Chain A
Amino acid sequence: GEDVEQSLFLSVREGDSSVINCTYTDSSSTYLYWYKQEPGAGLQLLTYIFSNMDMKQDQRLTVLLNKKDKHLSLRIADTQTGDSAIYFCAEMEDDKIIFGKGTRLHILP
């Protein structure tokens, strides 16, 4: 069955790095995604990674993929108050995108 798992909450001090983890079940997933949802807003695509890649870096964001363990992580360097949001991990399966329940990132001053 389809399942994408994420921890529900993460608290990080401003300026530190945030690491949000995700596990998925479909080994045939070709694309894996991270979306950000700010309070009262829609989903914003942050980044995505092809399954034949191990790592992708985009400014403060680093995505790591361990295909053997079906584990995906999103690292946000130098976390800022504007990073406070819910982060959704998602995988593409049979032309459907399956989302995790989201990780709420809380920034401590």
Chain B
Amino acid sequence: DSGVTQTPKHLITATGQRVTLRCSPRSGDLSVYWYQQSLDQGLQFLIQYYNGEERAKGNILERFSAQQFPDLHSELNLSSLELGDSALYFCASSPGNRGVQETQYFGPGTRLLVL
């Protein structure tokens, strides 16, 4: 158990819909990262937040957005969903000290199926 929690575990929805995935980082960690894992793209970094602010951006679509709240939990919002958005979405956290590269600890993931 990494200490990172994600809800829900599974999500089934239809094309065009909007969903919100939630992540709670390990106690004391200030950084949260979101990843998408699909069969064709592999594991792709989406976005990082550090202490409430966006810090790094990867291959995140404009239809997707994220935020980190004052209690440090994060939400990933996926809108206008397409079939190709079906994937496993991971959240990870790290202590997030600026300028120090750190180990990230991963949550169990949310499996999204778009029908």
> Residues of A at under 8 Å CB distance from B?
30-31, 33, 35, 41-45, 48, 88, 92, 94-102
Contact digits for B84-112, partner A, Cβ 8 Å, 1 yes 0 no? 00000010100000000111111111000
Known: A31-B101, A95-B48. A44 touches B106 (CB 8 A): yes
Q: Which of A33, A96, A100 contacts B103 (CB under 8 A)? A: A33
Closest to B105 in A: A45
> Residues of B at under 8 Å CB distance from A?
2, 33, 42-43, 45, 48, 55-56, 58, 90, 92, 101-109
**A48 to B101 alpha-carbon distance, docked (Å):** 12
**A95 to B57 alpha-carbon distance, docked (Å):** 10
Q: Are B108 and A48 interface neighbours, CB within 8 A? A: no
Q: Which of A44, A95, A99 contacts B2 (CB under 8 A)? A: A44
Q: Are A95 and B101 interface neighbours, CB within 8 A? A: yes
Q: Are B104 and A97 interface neighbours, CB within 8 A? A: yes
